[in-house]
Amino acid sequence: MPIYEYRCSSCGAQKDVMQKLSDPLLTTCPECGKETFSKQLSAAGFQLKGSGYYVTDFKNGNKPKAEPACAPCAAAGSCPVAGGN
């Protein structure tokens, strides 16, 4: 679930709220009770859990090997199309 940052324009109270995308926006400030609580534009907050992307792929600096574009380039060790690289 995404974490959204809300701010009250009346009292200045700020709060991070975890909400589903389908949940309605909050409008009532929990501090002053006025209807001036609004969602702020901020960087998305998320957390990766489990044996996901970072843990299994690039944690130790191992990068996937680039494969040559075609079989003749692989056999020759260079690519005439790309300037001999």
**37 vs 63: which has the higher pLDDT:** 37
65, pLDDT greater than 70: no
The per-residue pLDDT for range 17-61, each reduced to its tens digit, is: 998 989 999 999 999 999 999 999 877 656 666 665 555 555 555
3-state SS track over the chain: CCEEEEEECCCCCEEEEECCCCCCCCCCCCCCCCCCEEECCCCCECCCCCCCHHHHCCCCCCCCCCCCCCHHHHHHCCCCCCCCC
Half-sphere exposure of 1 (CA within 13 A, CB side): 10
The answer to whether the CB of 25 falls within 8 A of the CB of 40 is: no
**2 vs 85: which has the higher pLDDT:** 2
- pLDDT bucket at 10, cuts 50 / 70 / 90: very high
Q: pTM to 2 decimals?
A: 0.50
Range 5-9 average pLDDT: 94
Give the pLDDT score at 1: 76
Q: CATH code for 1-43?
A: 2.20.28.10
